[in-house]
Amino acid sequence: MDNLLRRIRSARGGTFFIAVLSTACIVSFAGEAGAQCSARDVLQNSLTLKKTPSANKPSIPVRSAVAVPVWKTITVGTFANSFALRTALDAASCGVGDTVAEILARPTFTLYATKTDVELIAVSSAELGFQTDTASLASIYARAQQLGFGLAAAEVAPQLRLQYFDQPIGEFLIIGMEPIKTWKGEPVILTVANGGAGLILIDQDGSADAEIPVVSRFLFVRSKEAALAKAARGLDEAAASVRR
């Protein structure tokens, strides 16, 4: 660190200062994160971390996003750029495929400008009302939005990967997000998963006609309208409690 400070003091350009400072922050994060995504650390985390309730649960038909509880709240907007985010994933030994790495580097993959908490809701296609074995991604999105769910920002996927180290083995969570196209023009969405060999971030076909098994679980947010309705219902319940 002393050598780093000397380099900063001797720098003549602001660009070099920012680059060195960014590197210092990334190195610091790497020291704190460790190899949290490796199979060995996943096993250790299962013994020591307070477990997040699994998103895999019995299917109950959903009538409105207002009534569905939040599964997990994560924080976004904590990285200066996608390079720093990717470096954090590498530092934690989270598996990232070539396609995902490409998506994280695309201009259309953007980050929140400010630190923000995001409430995620887990729901399967079956809970949305689909009774067939599979359903198209477009129809799943349309039904979800009809019920008051909204699509999450692309940043949610890697941020969840870094904030969900106690994910149970066998859980695959598809992020309900706008597809991002690869350099070849193929639409892709992201999935946060634990396949048993460690924690990974993988790609999923984001074509409108992509057929998704209805047992697959998606992560959505509440639409602005549903969020307002939820808040209003909370106020009504609070007022009723005071009257009682």
| Cα separation, 126 vs 91, whole angstroms | 36
Percentage of the chain beyond pLDDT 90 is 64
Phi, psi of 118 (to 5 degrees): -125, 125
Residue 52: what pLDDT?
A: 67
pLDDT class of 38 with cuts at 50, 70, 90: confident
Q: Which helix (H) or strand (E) holds 107?
A: none
Chain Cα centroid distance, residue 64: 22
pLDDT tens-digit map of 56-101 = 665 678 889 998 999 999 999 999 999 999 999 999 999 998 999 9
pLDDT class of 42 with cuts at 50, 70, 90: confident
Give the long-range contacts of residues 197-200, CB within 8 A, separation 24 or more. 197/39, 197/95, 198/37, 198/38, 198/39, 198/42, 198/93, 198/94, 198/95, 199/36, 199/37, 199/42, 199/94, 199/95, 199/161, 199/164, 199/165, 199/167, 200/37, 200/94, 200/95, 200/96, 200/97, 200/161
Q: Write out the two tokens for 66.
A: 């207002």
Out of 21-35, 54-68, 200-214, give the one with best mean pLDDT: 200-214
Out of 15-24, 62-71, 100-109, give the one with best mean pLDDT: 100-109
The better pLDDT of the pair 42, 123 is held by 123
The better pLDDT of the pair 236, 63 is held by 63
Q: Write out the two tokens for 32.
A: 């704190």
| Cα separation, 161 vs 175, whole angstroms | 11
- Going from the C-alpha of 147 to that of each of 62, 105, 119, 150, the distances in angstroms are 8, 33, 17, 9
